[in-house]
Amino acid sequence: MNDDFKRVESHDCPMSTCAAPAGSPCRTGKGKVAIQYHTARFRLVPQLAKLLSVPTPAVRKPGSAWTELPRPASTGTTPVGHVRLGYARASTALQSLDAQLDSLTEARVTRIFSEKISTRATRRPELEAAVKLAGEIRSSGVAVTLVVHEHKRLGRGIELAMLAEALKVSDVGLEFLTGELTGSHAPSGIVFTVLAAMSGMEREYIRDRTLEGHESARKRGKTIGGASVTDDSMLSMAPHLRDQEMSLRDIAKRLVITTGSKKGQRPSPATVMRMLREHDETASR
């Protein structure tokens, strides 16, 4: 699940030409939903500060007429009521969920989401459904806590950290009934802070390893993606256009490939992103 847009939209856009309020996507000067969030806005989110762009998700209908959406529930407003949602998971079909279901029932949860799915699975439909419902309920002004038998049921390491980060954005609490993290944890608490830091560190690690891999491949004469279509003119123009707060898509429309089999064509936004990233890496050395 990718909730980056929720993190971005938890802030007002600081661009005077946009000024989209929290809860709404960025807008263009022509009153359309922007294809990407403005750089000044997503850089307010520590985990996204080093990205070159954050695309607007399909659910926000980029390119359509912009309208203001409901603002997220304010953390300073006293919630009305409290809903407790439960989640249980077993790694294989042979494992029983009975012990988890019994403990969740005793914890007086309103609804239980359960599934039998491997820890290695990249998607967990029932967990995603629980998180989505929790966010929807919280946005209505009701306090929500996701209750789980043990933190390992949610995942390990980066998976747990990213889930905690998503719950924090929605202002949803966590409660573990047993294990090292037993107890209730508010979104503003130390557990969420530590898990969010783990998520940011892991992303930095993956990013650094990827860049090192690309550099190693280039030294061996291998081409990485669309790197071969760039030239000195593009490398000097792209950062200049980015400084004007142009999106990757708009920058790509201003550039022309001058060599190779794609001569005369426009580079893809992905190629522009890669080119800018390499430019920033070189400039920081």
Active site residues: 91
Q: Is 266 helix (H, G, I), strand (E, B) or coil?
A: coil
Fill in the amino acid letter for 187: P
DSSP assignment, residue 25? -
Sign of CA dihedral 149, 191, 44, 74: positive
At 83, list the tokens: 């809903």
State the residue for tokens 């980029």.
62
Instruction: Yes or no: say if 35 and 249 are a contact pair by the CB < 8 Å rule.
Output: yes
Sign of CA dihedral 180, 186, 189, 192: positive
Strands of the sheet containing 111-116, edge to edge, are 111-116, 82-90, 143-148, 173-176, 183-185
Distance (Å, whole) CA 280 – CA 285 = 9
DSSP assignment, residue 270? H
Distance (Å, whole) CA 164 – CA 178 = 17
